[in-house]
Amino acid sequence: MSQTDGLKDTIACDTRISQIVDDSLSYAGYNISELVEHHASFEEVIYLLWHLHLPTQIELKHFEEDLRTNYAISDAVEQCILIQSRKHLHPMSVLRSTVSLLGGYNVHAEEISLEAT
């Protein structure tokens, strides 16, 4: 367990995915600063978190294609976002509410099998 000023009053544990040593955070052995310096994309970091290694170009291409198949949201969810944004709510409040709403539109939301993920 590590604790620095940035993590004051926060318990942080090492896991197989992440580790905090002094002021340094790493994912699957990759220092976050190095990922930033090498301009790792959002998709590359997600792949790293899920697979514990950075993707090859081919793996990244297939991963991005798989992600794109799930980009679409229902019109109702889109309208919810628009309504909330017109009320000048904090973006995190909009995100939290919208993520909760998404579960209602996912036919696999209650499934816990690997096939459903």
Q: What angle do CA 52, 15, 6 make, to 5 degrees?
A: 110
Closest residue by Cα to residue 44 from 20, 27, 25? 27
Closest residue by Cα to residue 11 from 20, 19, 2? 2
pLDDT band at residue 44, thresholds of 50, 70 and 90?
A: very high
- Domain extent for 39: 1-60
pLDDT band at residue 48, thresholds of 50, 70 and 90?
A: very high
Same domain, 16 and 46: yes
Same domain, 52 and 74: no
Same domain, 5 and 46: yes
CB neighbours of residue 13 within 10 Å? 9
Q: How many domains does the chain have?
A: 2
Same domain, 74 and 23: no
Q: pTM higher than 0.85 for the full model?
A: no
> Does the pLDDT of residue 105 top 90, yes or no?
no
* Burial tier of 7 (Cβ tally within 10 Å: 0-12, 13-18, 19+): middle
